Structure 1
């Protein structure tokens, strides 16, 4: 998936609030830099004014689709919106403080275990998926590649209409500069790691 295109967990709440707190400050700073009111940004992004207000006040955890629409309206990459401007070179992040994103259906949780400063070229996630959970992403920049390694359960990956099924221990590398879908199959919770290389050489 990478986070491009691409509101919500429980013991993951603190981590989710870490993302939205950082996100809220960034959204507010960019909105004011463009001299936009909440109403004007809401109209341009197609996101409710009340939702934007809640994001800026760190009162909600927006979906990836919402973040994407806001980044487009503010004319910045979604990676730039999520990236932190501050942070030590060496950083320990506890489980409770790990930033968390959710798929649109709320059934796939993506713990950001990579460094936010590298998101423009390398993204690394711990994936937890409920049965039937689906993460659908538009193509990222040309040459982008993802690698999904299944730790538990069974997944299906569909890239440009081509499907592959993965079981525990399987890994799949695929072009993510095309429309792609990750789905958790079966009746068990799925676990996987996902690495997204955003500036890889194009695979032929």
Structure 2
């Protein structure tokens, strides 16, 4: 009987030790990811539904959170639970998206296709696209937020960009940056297919 009691105590100590190690790893990971996303404790609390005081205790290794709490934090930080619980705090962030899973937009004339290669988490302030166009393709865009800037880096063929009547050509190997907080049009003017990477930075600056 005494041996069974002692064995139970040892198992309990092992469980407690494992929980403490898990909490320590979790706290470091949550804090690292929160800072990487430039989130305050209050902002992470609002996004996750986990109390600010609890998140603070987790980061300081003062509590062992429930699985439900870990799940809410992982959802708010846009990572898997496995990654949140990973023991290696230097683990890199790697996300692979296959071509069939990459969403795309098509211009009204059907000649220009924009694969959305940007991260959905940044869509409100940063967007980027892989642009493919047949000769003569036209993409008309409304004005974005004031201060927004777009960059078109051409890798094949040539495009013409019209920003409120100001027209500029850009060819393979060249990049063109322009304000896109006013109506703008991109036309493929190459004799063959044209391709570019387009990046839109929303509210980049207050521009007069």
Could you tell me the TM-score, scaled by structure 1's length?
A: 0.56
- 3-state DSSP class of the match of 1:96? helix
- Of 124, 128, 153, 1:124 maps to 128
- Of 174, 178, 183, 2:182 maps to 178
Aligned positions, number = 120
For the residues of structure 2 that align with 1:143 and 1:197, how far apart are their CA atoms?
9
87 and 102 in structure 1: CA distance in 2 versus 1, 3 angstrom threshold: farther
For the residues of structure 2 that align with 1:116 and 1:106, how far apart are their CA atoms?
24
Aligned alpha-carbon RMSD (Å): 1.7
For the residues of structure 2 that align with 1:94 and 1:87, how far apart are their CA atoms?
19
2:108 is matched with 104
Could you tell me the TM-score, scaled by structure 2's length?
A: 0.55
Superposed, 1:102-181 pairs within 5 Å as 102-181=106-185
User: Any stretches of 5+ residues in structure 1 without a counterpart?
Assistant: 1-84
Superposed, 1:187-202 pairs within 5 Å as 187-202=191-206
117 and 101 in structure 1: CA distance in 2 versus 1, 3 angstrom threshold: same
For the residues of structure 1 that align with 2:102 and 2:77, how far apart are their CA atoms?
16
Task: Name the structure with the higher helix share.
Answer: 2
- 3-state DSSP class of the match of 1:120? coil
Give the number of the structure whose alpha-carbon radius of gyration is greater: 2
- 3-state DSSP class of the match of 2:100? coil
For the residues of structure 2 that align with 1:169 and 1:193, how far apart are their CA atoms?
11
For the residues of structure 2 that align with 1:132 and 1:87, how far apart are their CA atoms?
40
- 3-state DSSP class of the match of 2:115? strand
- Of 93, 97, 103, 1:93 maps to 97
Higher relative contact order (CA 8 A, sep 6+): 1
Is the 8 Å Cα contact of residues 146 and 207 (structure 2) preserved in structure 1? no
For the residues of structure 1 that align with 2:152 and 2:138, how far apart are their CA atoms?
14
User: Any stretches of 5+ residues in structure 2 without a counterpart?
Assistant: 1-75, 80-92
* Displacement over 2 Å in runs of 4+: 85-91
